Amino acid sequence: MNMPQSTKNCWILIISFFTSYAHAQEKNTDINANLNNYKITKSYEDTVNFRTRNIYTVQHYSTIKKANSNQQTKVFRGKTFYLDTHTEYLPDGRKLYERYNYEKTQRIEKYHYDAGLKHLRLYEVNENNKVFYYNWLFYDAKENLIEEFDYSADQKNNFNIQTYIKYNIEYLKNRTKIAVTEYDSDSIASPLQTYIFTPSSITKDLPQYQSHFQKFELFNGNYKPVETRGFIFDDRYVDFKYDSKGFIISEIWHKPEGVLENQTTYAYAPDYKERIEQLYHMKGTEKSLKTTRRYNQYDDLIFQQSVDYTGSPSSIDHFTYIYDQMGNWVERKTYDQPCEKGIPGKKVLISHEMRAIEYYQEGQSPRKFALPALPKQVTTAKRKIAERALTKFKETEEIE
């Protein structure tokens, strides 16, 4: 019996953890966008889903109804589709507003920017008009992030601190060093995170992350990981290599340094329309799962199939698209094709999606939201958290 490709490949996500970072895709080179800041990263996350900018709003529908949710419906060509997300964007592709249902919760996310729409000031989340989350971001004169304060409130305006983050920035010759300290609601400081930015690279020292140390270098205007140390285990090292166009060609694991543990290699057709990912097992010495992916002229995936180390092929994933005049898909169908004893069977439709895309018209501006007033408790809390954290640190030192 053949399992669907998505099921058979779930373990690949563990083996090739870094691959999503390493493939050629858009990446912002701005300092703020590379600080592992969830809110800023989230504002950019949809930019890789469209071929063009200047998108005003997108409504994403599918034929699969989510359990325990009250989704809006729309009929396309006699078939009922359920609204998954309604999203509005700035002209550069960053998110401005998003509404979706998660189980029985309707979430509304608002992204408040400064007057010039350059920097995210506030990430605001509304859950069923009962619980509200506010993530405020503050910048220095050079427009780099220096503080973040997160809190929640309910209908009675009860104020609950979530986190307070300080970014200590040193502007040095040919590099910028940023030390990040995060305090939780109990004023306990997490281990210091350190970022160093140069004109061509970023290094990240992140003690609490799965990857303790990472180095990124610029390839054709995009940052790519080239070295990782301490991935899960302190003595594991991972190195990445790329071709001249910025596509990954190898991911090599050593544990300890100099001793091969695992590897993944990548090969491409001259036009990059076919891409092959080869995993290895037996400490990276023997080939195991090989996955072939094919892409169309819009660089969208149209075919995916894996073959295991015995030569047995998995079921095949097929994708078909309909595009608008801007080259963005407005309809996508996903099929699973069983492959028993190497013989392909009948394709089965497993997913049908629609995107209603509206573009900015000449003279049209993004929707504007009123920026909530910054509560007075925030200023007081920031000072008290830092003071309490210092006191706790001194007490711990005395005990030790």
Per-residue pLDDT of 104-135, as tens digits, reads 889 999 999 999 999 999 999 999 999 999 99
Cis peptide before 256 (omega within 30 of 0): yes
pLDDT computed for residue 15 by the predictor: 40
Q: What's the pTM?
A: 0.88
Please state the φ and ψ torsions of residue 114, each to the nearest 5 degrees.
-70, 180
pLDDT computed for residue 16 by the predictor: 43
pLDDT computed for residue 2 by the predictor: 44
Q: What is the mean pLDDT of the chain?
A: 89
Q: Above 90 in pLDDT, residue 272?
A: yes
Give the C-alpha separation, 111 to 391, whole Å: 35
Residues 41-65: pLDDT tens digits?
999 999 999 999 999 999 999 998 8
Residues 78-93: pLDDT tens digits?
899 999 999 999 999 9
Please state the φ and ψ torsions of residue 349, each to the nearest 5 degrees.
-70, 125
Q: Above 80 in pLDDT, residue 20?
A: no
Give the C-alpha separation, 228 to 361, whole Å: 45
